[in-house]
A and B are shown apart, each in its own frame.
Chain A
Amino acid sequence: MRSSVTSKDPLLSAARFVVGLLMGLFAFIGVIVTIGLGAILTVQRSEIIERVAAANGGPVGYPLVLLAFVLIVGLMALAFLFMRELSRMIGSVEQGDPFQPFNADRLRRMGWLTVASQLTLVGLAGVGMAFDGIRPALLAEDALNAAFGGLLLALVLFILARVFRLGTAMREELEGTV
């Protein structure tokens, strides 16, 4: 009964579509950057070293480029995992039974994924700042703004996880009431 109502919810359908699209996008970018990482480690290694040197990248320029690629791959993996958890939560809402302990666990995992993503973003900003030609103050400000927004989202997710856990316990109690 509940599932037949929720499965027709246009918001859930739209959310599922957008989340699916984003999962595909993050996976695609992750694969492309991984291929790029493989290329700059092997066939394009000397070319990248030359280009970094030409752009005043200094002696640590090449490792920093590698680090940036690794961080981007990590960021895409974290974003993909976040969207996968969200997609599974949408699935449980569609089935009409979202107040389950596993959804509280999902929200908590999404909170930690957000924290990890923000740390990765700060790392990426740090790599950007290490290169010449980028205005460090501007980049630091952007990184701080992004980190603040992300950490706020993580906080909301952690609180929602608690709310879900309490809601699940309350529902279990209600189910045992005759």
Chain B
Amino acid sequence: MAIIVTLDDRLHDKRMTLTELAERVDITLANLSILKTGKAKAIRFSTLQSLCRELDCQPGDLLGYAPN
């Protein structure tokens, strides 16, 4: 997949677990796990907004592009 999700790196920077983030952004752990592992097909703006708010980052800090 060309789009890389760098959620794991941001979590590491913030010393936060996925479970903790799931509680803060009110998204199920299963869905966050799908996002983290790059299995998600799409991300809602509302999800991106919540993640940026809790991780104190920009959307570009969570997503990257790697040409195939």
Q: What's the interface size class on B, roughly?
A: 10 to 19
Chain B nearest CB from A166 CB (Å) reads 16
Nearest residue in B to A176 (C-beta to C-beta)? Answer: B41
Name, among B32, B35, B39, B42, the residue most crowded by chain A CB atoms within 10 Å (CB to CB).
Answer: B42
In the complex, whether A173 has a CB less than 8 A from a CB of chain B is yes
Instruction: List CB contacts (< 8 Å) of B11-48 with chain A.
Output: 27, 31-32, 34-35, 39-44, 47
Contacts of A177 in B (CB 8 A): 40-44
Q: What's the interface size class on A, roughly?
A: under 10
Chain A nearest CB from B58 CB (Å) reads 18
CA A9 to CA B40, docked complex, whole Å: 34
> Could you list which residues of chain A lie within 8 angstroms of chain B, going by C-beta atoms?
173, 176-178
Of the A-B pairs whose beta carbons lie under 8 Å apart in the complex, a sample of 18, sorted by A's number, is A173-B42, A176-B34, A176-B39, A176-B40, A176-B41, A176-B42, A177-B40, A177-B41, A177-B43, A177-B44, A178-B27, A178-B32, A178-B34, A178-B35, A178-B42, A178-B43, A178-B44, A178-B47
